[in-house]
Amino acid sequence: MAHVTLENIGKVYPGGVRAVEEVDLEVADGEFVVLVGPSGCGKSTTLRMVAGLEEISEGTLSIGDRCVNDVPARDRDVAMVFQNYALYPHLTVRRNLSFGLERRRRALGLSKADIARKVDATADSLGIAALLDRLPKALSGGQRQRVAVGRALVRDPAVFLFDEPLSNLDARLRVEMRSELRLLHRRLESTMLYVTHDQEEAMSLGDRLVVMHEGRVQQVGPPMDIYTRPVNRLVAGFVGSPAMAMLEGEIVDRDGRAIFETPAGAVVAGPDLEKVRHRGPVTIGVRPESWRLVDAGNDRLSGDVVTVERYGDRGDAIVEVEGGQRIVHRGPALAMPEEGVCVGLEPVPGGVHLFDAKTNDRLNV
């Protein structure tokens, strides 16, 4: 096991595409870190630089205390699990698992019996022992995914790298595999770096998340810190689904208390805003679960309920407010308003996030 350090890492692809810029990150020994962000933000490129599959254009990459910028992939002691599993189609599961070890058997000082033992133990731990003699084409997607994880596991690497490993699974299996990976991490206590575009997957897996946008790191921290205190509008909008509602407007004094008003005349009031010292243009963000329903009125954000979606336990009401903006209110399914009625929305205490109107950075005021 090892820590991984990225110092000022950058990547410019041949042809001039800048994919990654000034990435600083320290992944602690045994930590599970998830790189997350929209498609094209540079997550895979960053991971592939750690794997040794992409040349590093700028900066220093260390695994343990060793700089590995110029160390080939096979000598980095990392194992990667790919989205498409990359299994050898003509080899059985057993050979897929043992292949990497057999190739380097002498260098690793392993006997054939050692390898067989490792393969059996790995297959057991992943619940694929009964599949060892099958070819990949005779496996389900979930089983292939396990074999791909097994192939990394059997090598006992210093660092595990995962590139969207669950994307090809159906939704139910994805959720199941998510918790298995989390348990695997807890059992192995190994260093894991994981890439996904799915913020929910990232939230549920990572000890820490690294939120990226356009090649740059926006925020690094434990999932709930990022959820409750996003550093800017980009992070706030990306983490959380449905996305946080963003309203642009101004904080002004009315009748001796601070309220927020949009150009369309929508007003957001409540205890959070009364505490704000800032006056003038600002963007406010409120998550779907942080709105509560109140009576409609001129002195508060109000609108018609356009649609209601109920998911059994909870529901989402989409409210079209002044100016035409649609806002999602999330609450218990049984407490959802009827479609077509007019409702008011008020943020619950602690539910308002403020962002600078120009820089889009979080305002702590």
Chain positions contacting ligand ADP, by CB under 6 A? 13, 15, 17, 19, 37, 39-45
Nearer to ligand ADP by Cβ, of 84 and 307: the residue is 84
What is the smallest separation between the CB atom of 14 and ligand ADP, expressed in angstroms? 7
- To ligand ADP, the closest distance from the beta carbon of 42 in angstroms equals 4
Q: Least CB distance from residue 56 to ligand ADP, whole Å?
A: 13
Q: How far is the CB of 78 from ligand ADP (least distance, A)?
A: 17
Using CA atoms, how far apart are residues 91 and 229, in angstroms rounded to an integer? 48
State the burial class of residue 163 (Cβ atoms within 10 Å of its Cβ: 0-12, 13-18, 19+).
Answer: buried
Round to whole Å and give the CA distance between 161 and 48. 9
Which residues are CB-neighbours of 281 under 8 A, at least 6 positions away?
248, 249, 250, 357, 358
44 versus 191: smaller Cβ distance to ligand ADP? 44
Q: Which residues contact 114 (CB under 8 A, 6 or more apart)?
A: none
List, as one string, the DSSP characters of 138-180: GS-HHHHHHHHHHHHHTT--SEEEEESTTTTS-HHHHHHHHHH
Quick one: 44 or 283, whose CB is closer to ligand ADP?
44
Nearer to ligand ADP, 45 or 218 (CB): 45
CB of 86 to ligand ADP, least distance (A): 16
Min. distance of Cβ 195 from ligand ADP in angstroms? 6
Most distant CA pair in the chain, distance: 82
Considering the complex, state which of residue 86 and residue 252 has its C-beta at the smaller distance from ligand ADP: 86
Q: Which is nearer to ligand ADP, 211 or 284 (CB)?
A: 211
CA atoms within 13 A on the CB side of 26: 3
Q: Residue 60: what residue type? A: T
